[in-house]
Amino acid sequence: MKDVYDIAKVIHGATSVIPRPDGSLPAQWGELTGLDRTRAAAAVERLLMFPAQTPEHLHDVWAQPLYNDGWVCGEGYCSINKTHPSLVPYDQLPDTEKIKDMIWASLIEVFRPFYHGGN
């Protein structure tokens, strides 16, 4: 498995069972928009290119494209209003969200040997 979409799908699957701060569950991979899948794959690729990322950095890599697209922190997740309860600085995240970032960091390292720069 070397394709960043495959890796993103596995990592998303592992973390999508953990509820957001508002209690909602993230969509399953097959329910994500193409843009959301592309964002996840792009994050995986960036993280694979730079070893030993901290969970804080992973959160920033995830949040920045959302901020760039007009998303803001909101009490609940809403794709129409572009609100997400986890769009806060890392130190303000609930522990469950920090655990998701730790899972991402760990799984990126697990998949690193199988990644060949998309070739």
Q: What is the pTM of this model?
A: 0.78
d(CA 115, CA 12): 17
Residues 6+ apart with CB under 8 A from 99: 18
pLDDT digits 0-9 by tens, 72-102: 999 888 889 999 989 999 999 999 889 888 8
Low-confidence stretches of the chain (pLDDT < 50) are 1, 119
